[in-house]
Chains A and B, each alone.
Chain A
Amino acid sequence: MIEPPTEAATIDGRSIVPEPGETILAAARRLGIEIPSLCAGPEQRPAPEWRPEGGCRLCTVEVTGVERPMAACHTALAPGSEVRTRSERIQSVRREILRLHLSSYPRLHVAPETLLGRLLAEHGLDAPERPLLRDRLDESAPYLRFDPDLCIVCRRCVHACSEVEGQDVFDVAERGASVRLICGEDDLLAHSDCTSCGACVSRCPTGALFDRDRDPLAFEPATSRTESVCGYCGVGCRVAVESHEDRVLRIGGVEDAEVNRGHLCAKGRYAHAWQHSPDRLDRPLLRRDGRLEPASWEEALDFVATRLSRIRDEHGADALGVFTSSRSTNEAAYLLQRMFRAQLGSNHVDCCARVCHSSTALALQQTTGTGAASASYVDVDRASCIVLAGSNATEAHPVIGARIKQAVRRGADLIVIDPREIELAGWAEHHLALRPGTNVALLNAIARVLVEEGLCQKDFVDQRCEGFDALYEFLARSSLEEAAEITHVRVAAIQAAARRIGAGDPVLFVHGLGLSELVQGTASVMALTNLGMLTGSIGVPGAGMLPLRGQNNVQGNADMGGMPDQITGHQALADEDARARAERLWGSAPPLEAGKTIPEMLDAAREGSMRALWIQGEDVAQSDPDETHVLEALDALDLLVVQEMFPTETAARAHVVLPAAGYLEQDGTFINGERRIQRVRRAVAPPGEARPDWEVAQEVAQRLGANRRFEDPAEVWDEIAEVAPRLFGGVSYARLEGDGIQWPCPEPDHPGTSTVHADGFIRGKGALVCVDHEPSPEHGVEEHPWLLVTGRVLHQYNVGTMTRRTPQQELEPEDRLEIHPGDARRLGIEEGDRVRVTSRWGTTEVPADVSHRVPHGVLFLSFHQPGSHTNRVVGPHLDPASHCPQYKATAVTIEPV
C-alpha cells in the first residue's frame, strides 16, 4: 500500500502535493499548466486503464537534480522535486522534434486548428505550405476517414481504440522511420472491427482520422456549443453539441462527464442526421375524411381536448388511456400523466418500460424496496467480479459495454449468462449459454451451489435479509442435474461460475432484457437478486444490481408516474400523503384504483372499452409484440393522438398527429439507468412548427381546465420535486449543472445517492424469494421446435425511427436471422438466403445470417426495420405480475423461401 504523500513538489514554481503515482503531466494538468504532447490523450482525469504511450517525447521536462530531461507523461512526480516545463534547453529540443515531423512527412498538410498546428505555432514554427492531396484516403466506412498523408503515428488512436472502446482496430507496422498506422486485416476501416465510436477521431492531433461529414480543409466555425444528454439509450452520456445556424455540426462527449468520460458510441456521436431528415413532421395533422391533412396547432389542440372530453363524458374516464414517452423529457411525461390523472380522472397511464424492464422494476421493488438500479456505472470500474445476465451491453449499451471491457482488462472477472455468444462472452471467464427462457432454473442452481458449499456471506444475509431458511429448504429440493437438463448448461460449468460468484468479494450484477422480457421475467430478476443478497453485494460500492435501461429516459418516465399503479416518485395510489400533495398541486387527486397496463389497454381497445389513446413518442405498431393484435387495437379506437417526429406506422393510424421536437431541440431533464437526473438543453430549433412535448401536453391540459400554467420546464421540475419529495425533494435545475444528481435526493443539501441500500434495504429487510422454474408456454411446442430470441444490434436503435434516417442504416441495413451453421446446413440455408419464420402467432420473411453466435436450435432476430415484422412472430404471453411481454423466447419453425 502506497502511503499518500503529503510533501509538495513544484512545477514551474507552483506548489502541488502529488497523488500516489501521479505523473508530472497529470499533476501539471491539475495546476492548469499545459505541457505539450502529441501522444498523451486529452483525458482530464486519467482512467485507470489509461497507459501513457511515451512516444512523442514533447512532454520532456527538467527535474532539478536529475541530469537527463524526463518525460512528464510517464515519470511520477516525486515529493520535494522541482520541475521546470519550459527551460530554454527543453523548448529547443521540442522545437527540433516538431521540425523533424515536418521534414519527415513530405505529404503532411498541417491545418492550423489541429493540435499539431497549434503546437507548431506555439514553438515558432510555420506550417509548411502544402496542398492537402487526399489521394490515398480510406473512405470505406460511413463516418470515419483515414488519410495516411496526415498520420504522424502518434498512436493516440491505437490507445483510444484499445483502452477506451476495447476494439484494437489499429496497430503500427514496420519499424524505424517506416512505421505506419495499420487497421484490421487489410487496412480498410470497413473491413475491420471498427464500431465507428469515433474515440480515435476525437483524439487525432492532425486530422488523419476524421469525420467524413466534415471537410478537413474547412473546420467550420461552430457558433454555439450546447452541453446536453444523448437521446438514444439509457446510459445517458453527456454530449457537447456544436452547431451553426440551427444545424448540428458535430457531437462530442463531455470529457469530464461522470457517465461517459468523453466517450460516445457511433449513434451518440454521429447519428444525428435524423434531425434534418426531409420527412420530419413539421406541422400538425388532422384526419379528415379518412386522410391525415395539415392543420393549425389551434385546430389540432382544440380537437384533441374536445374529443377527449366528449369520450370521457360519453364513456367515462376509463375509456381514456395514455402511453407517456420514454424518449421525451421528464417534464413532458409528468405533465401528460398529470393531465390524465387530475383533469381527466384516468389512471390508465403506462409507458414502454412495460414492454422492457417492468419485470426488473417490480422484482427489485418487491425484494429491495426500490425498483431501480442499486448500483451506478462507476461500480463497473470498482468491481472485481461482474455478472452480465441477459444483456448484450457492447451492442445495446456500447459505452457501458466498453467500460466492462476496461474492467476486464484491469483484472475484473466477467461471467456472462446469455444464450448467445455475444461479444463480451469472448471476454468472460465463464459463459453460461443457457436455453432461452430458463434463467430461473440456472440462477437457482447457482444459488444452490452458494448455499450448499458455504459460499454465502452469512453475516450480510443474517443482518440484512429475510427468508434464508425457506430459501435453503427450497433450493435443497432441487438438483443441479435437473437444472442442467432444463438449461442445457453443464453441471460443472454452473459450479465453476457459482464458485467464482461466491468467492467472497461483492459482485456487480449487470442485467438486461434477457431476464425481464419473459413470462418468468419478474421471477428471473428475483432469482438474480437472491444472488445479490447471498453474496452480500447490494448496498456495497463496486457491487449491486445494475439493470441497463433501454431508452434515454425510460427510468425517468416511470419515475414521473408513467405507470398505472403509481404516481410521480413511485408513490402508491393509496399513499395518503402523496394523494394530499397531488390534490394540492394538481387540483385533484388521481383515482384510487390502479389503471391498465399497455397490453391491457390494447386489449381493451380491441374489445371496445378503451376509446381514446394518446401515444407520446412511441411506435407501438412496430415495437409491441403480436403486431396483428396491436394494429387491430389501434384501428378500433375513436381517438388516437400521436406525438411524433416521423410518419410512423402508429402515426399513420392516428386521428391527430402532433409534430414533436427531438432531444437536440428541447429543454428539460432525462434520468438515466443509474438514477442520474441530467439536464437536456436545446441545441438547435425543431423543424417548422414542431413543438416540445411538454408544451403540447400543457396546451391540452389548459383546454381541459388545468389548475396551473408553467412558464418553462424548470417550473415543471419544481412541482415534480414537491410532489415526490422523497426522491426529488432536493433537486432543482440550479443543482443540475454538470453531472446532475442521482436520486434519491430528498434535501437541497443531500449529495444524491450512488449506492442505494447502503444503510440497509429500503424495504427494511432484503427479501430472499423462492421462485421455481416454470416451463415457458413456448417451450416444447411440438410443431415449432426452434426458439427465437429477439433483440437489438449495435448500429440501430429500437424501431429505427431515428437511426434508419442516418448513415447507421448503411452500417446495419437489415434485420437478419442468426442461425447456427449446423442447423443452416441441415436445412439447406446459406448466408443471405431468405427464410420464412413462423410461430403460432404470425409469420415473416427475413435474410439468414449463418453464425456461431447462436447455439443449435436457437435463432436470433432484431426488429429495427419495419419490413421485418419481427413482432408479428412474437406471441402474446405476458409475465403475469409485470405484464412484460415474452420477446426472448418464441417457438417457431423456419424454412428457406
Chain B
Amino acid sequence: MTEPVRGGAAERAADSFFEDAHWEGVTRVCRGTSCQLAGAEGVIEARATLGDCRPVHCLGYCDRSPVALLADGRVATGDRAARAEPELADAALPDVRWLTKEPVVTARVAMGCHSPITRALDAGVWSTLPQFLARGPEAILAELVRSGERGRGGAGFATAVKWRACAAAEGEEKFVVANGDEGDPGSFVDRVLMQHDPHAVLEGLALCAFAVGARSGIVYVRGEYPAAAAALERAIEEARDHELLGPAVCGTDFGFDVRVVRGRGSYVCGEETALLNCVEGRRGEVRLRPPYPVTRGLHGRPTVVNNVETLVNVPAILSRGAGAWRALGTRASPGTKALCLNAGFARPGILEVGFGTRLRDVLEDAGAEGIEAVLMGGPLGSVVFEEDWDLPLCYAELAERGIHLGHGGLVALPADTDWREFVIRALDFARRESCGRCAPCRLGTERAFQAMQEPGDPREELEAIFEAMRHTSLCAFGQLIPGPLESVIQRHETRIFGP
C-alpha cells in the first residue's frame, strides 16, 4: 500500500500541477502541432476577444484543424473554430480507411458510431469475453503470447509479458487501467475508439482483468476528451445492465467493474506511472522504475496499464486467433496499426495499415503533395524527411534509423513550414508540459525556449542542453524531446538561425 497523502501542502501541490483546475466554462482552443500549422494562433486571438479562452495542446480533431472545444462540450472545427456563434461541426467520425488485408481496430468505427450497446452487440463486441471466461485466464495469456502483440501507446512493449508479470505478481488486489491519455498532438484514434467504440475498450479491459486477476478497472480519459469520457460512462452503465460488468460478469463468479477517471490536463500523465499518480490524487510526475506497475502500481498494487488501441485489439486477436493476427503484420511487429493523418494531408483521417507497410504508400494514399516531411509520433517522435519514406512501418526497422513510430500520429509538414517557429513551438510545448521532477528536463526545456528568443546564436547552448536532456532525463519525455528538433535544426540550420 502506498502511504496516504498527508500534510497540508500535498493537496495544493497536486492541484497546482494540472492545467484543468479552473476550466469550468472556458473555451479551449487547440494549439496542437496540426492546429498550430493550420493557424491556431489566429483562432486564439479571435476567441480571446469573445471571452475566456485557453489554449491546449491537442483536442484530438487533427483531421479538421483548427479546432475549438466550447464550454458546453460542442466542437467547432475549421473556419468555424474562430466564430462567435459557430454553426457547429457535426460530431462525425473522421474518414477511416485501410491499407491492410482486413481492418481490425477500426473495423467498426469505419462503419460509424458503435457507442450504443445494441449496435456494439450486433457488431460482435462482447462476444469474445464469455468464450474466454469459460476457457480460463491461461487461454488468454497463451493466445496473447502467440500473437506477439505489442503495446500501441508508443513504447511497443510486449503485452503478454506485461500481463503475465501482473498475473504472477503477489497481491490480493490488482487493477487494470486503460490509458486514454492520448496526449500526442497529431493522434486521435484513441479518442475515436473511446467515443465511438467504447464497448470494445471495455471488453478488452475485462479480458485483461480476467487474465491477470483484477476485479476493478479504470479508464483514464484526458480532460480534453469530455465526449469520450461521457461515452464510456454511458457504455459502462449499459454493460452493467447487461451483466457484462459487475459482481457476476456474464453470470460467472468473475466480478469486475470499471470507472472513468478524467485527466486534469497534463501531457506527461500519458506515461503510465504519472497517470497512476494522477489517479491517486498526486502530482502527475513519473515514478522511478523499478518497481514497475505490474508489481507496484495503483495504490501500490499490481497493475496493468494498456493503451486504448491495444485493448481494442485484444478481443480481435482472441477471436481471430494469433495466427490470423500475425498474418496481418511483420514477424517482429505483428498485426495492424491505426495511423492518424492530420488536416495537412489531402485526405486526412484514420488509416489502418498492416505493420510493414511503407511510409511512402501511406503518404501517397493520404495525398502528400507539397509536403517536405512528416512529424511522426508526436513531439517525442521523429521528423521524417523524404529519404526515409521508403522504410517499412514497424518498430525494429524504424528504430534502426532512430525513428519513433510513437502512437502513430502523422502531421504533414509542408515545404513552406516556418521551421524556426516549429522549433520554438515545440520547446514551448515541452516547457509547459515538463513535469518538473528532473532538473535537465525542467530547466533545459525552459532555457532552450528562452535561448531561441534571445539575441545571439543559441546553437552551441542548445546542443549542450539537448545532450544533457537526452542522456540524463528521468523519463522518455526529456530524453526524446530533443530528437525531432535536432533533425530539423540539422536540415534547416540557416532557415532557423540565419546565415
Contact = CB atoms under 8 A, between A and B. Distances in A.
Interface of A: 38, 51-52, 54-58, 60, 68-69, 71, 74, 89, 92-93, 96-97, 99-101, 103-104, 152-153, 162, 167-179, 182-185, 192-193, 409, 411
Interface string B6-47: 111110110011000000000000000000000000000000
A93 B9 contact: no
Contacts of A193: 7-8
Contacts of B13: 171-173, 182
A74 B445 contact: no
A55 B467 contact: no
Interface in B393-419: none
B394 to A, nearest CB: 21
Interface in B281-308: 283-284, 288
B465 to A, nearest CB: 7
B111 to A, nearest CB: 41
B439 interface: yes
Contacts of A92: 464, 467
Contacts of A104: 443, 446-447
Contacts of B333: none
A171 B288 contact: no
A176 B471 contact: no
B472 interface: yes
Contacts, number: 136
A179 B10 contact: no
B288 A103 contact: no
22 contacts: A57-B440, A60-B472, A68-B479, A69-B471, A89-B471, A93-B467, A93-B468, A97-B443, A100-B468, A104-B446, A169-B8, A169-B9, A171-B10, A173-B16, A174-B436, A175-B16, A175-B17, A176-B446, A185-B8, A192-B8, A192-B9, A411-B1
A175 B479 CA distance: 17
A57 B439 contact: yes
Given A54-B474, A55-B438, A171 B446 contact: no
B468 A97 contact: yes
B472 A71 contact: yes
Contacts of A58: 439
Nearest to B284: A175
Nearest to B473: A57
A182 B12 CA distance: 9
Nearest to B435: A175
Interface of B: 1, 3, 6-10, 12-13, 16-17, 266, 283-284, 288, 431-440, 442-447, 464-465, 467-468, 471-474, 479
Contacts of B473: 57
A176 B439 contact: no
B439 A56 contact: yes
B56 to A, nearest CB: 15
A199 to B, nearest CB: 14
Given A96-B440, A176-B433, 4 more contacts: A57-B473, A104-B443, A171-B7, A173-B13
A167 B8 CA distance: 10
Given A174-B16, A175-B434, A100 B440 contact: yes
B9 A177 contact: no
A100 B9 contact: no
Nearest to B286: A54
Nearest to A69: B471
A177 B436 CA distance: 6
Contacts of A185: 8-9, 12
B445 A103 contact: no
A54 B286 CA distance: 11
A406 to B, nearest CB: 11
A38 B438 CA distance: 11
A176 B431 contact: yes
A172 B16 CA distance: 9
Contacts of A97: 439-440, 443, 468, 472
Nearest to A100: B443
Nearest to A175: B436
B302 to A, nearest CB: 16
A179 B442 contact: yes
Contact of B439 (A55, A182, A192): A55
A169 B7 contact: yes
Nearest to A170: B9
B439 A101 contact: yes
A176 B472 contact: no
Contacts of B288: 51-52, 54, 74
B467 A96 contact: yes
Contacts of B439: 38, 55-58, 97, 100-101, 152
A179 B472 contact: no
B442 A176 contact: yes
B450 to A, nearest CB: 8
Given A57-B472, A100-B465, A182-B13, A177 B446 contact: yes
A171 B9 CA distance: 6
A184 B468 contact: no
B18 to A, nearest CB: 8
The 4 A-B residue pairs with the shortest CB-CB distance, nearest first, are A168-B7, A177-B446, A171-B13, A179-B436
B10 A176 contact: no
Nearest to A185: B8
A411 B9 CA distance: 24
A317 B310 CA distance: 92
Contact of B435 (A169, A176, A409): A176
B9 A184 contact: yes
B432 A176 contact: yes
A93 B438 CA distance: 14
Contact of A184 (B8, B266, B471, B472): B8
A55 B475 CA distance: 11
B31 to A, nearest CB: 16
A100 B450 CA distance: 12
B304 to A, nearest CB: 23
A172 B434 CA distance: 14
Nearest to A187: B9
A57 B446 contact: no
Contacts of B438: 54-57
Nearest to B449: A177
Interface centre among B1, B17, B266, B288 (most CB of A within 10 A): B288
Contacts of A93: 440, 467-468, 471-472
B344 to A, nearest CB: 28
B498 to A, nearest CB: 23
Nearest to B474: A54
Nearest to A38: B439
A721 B84 CA distance: 93
B266 A55 contact: no
A38 B443 CA distance: 14
Contacts of B472: 57, 60, 69, 71, 93, 97
A860 B474 CA distance: 50
Contacts of B468: 93, 96-97, 100
Contacts of B3: 409
A55 B437 CA distance: 6
A100 B443 CA distance: 6
A249 to B, nearest CB: 31
B429 to A, nearest CB: 11
A753 B488 CA distance: 69
A719 B474 CA distance: 60
A139 B436 CA distance: 27
Contacts of A52: 288
Contacts of B283: 172, 175
A43 B121 CA distance: 60
A90 to B, nearest CB: 8
A2 to B, nearest CB: 13
A177 B465 contact: no
Contact of A167 (B7, B444, B445, B479): B7
A479 B257 CA distance: 45
Contacts of A183: 9
A167 B9 CA distance: 11
A378 B407 CA distance: 51
Interface centre among A93, A175, A182, A193 (most CB of B within 10 A): A175
A354 to B, nearest CB: 40
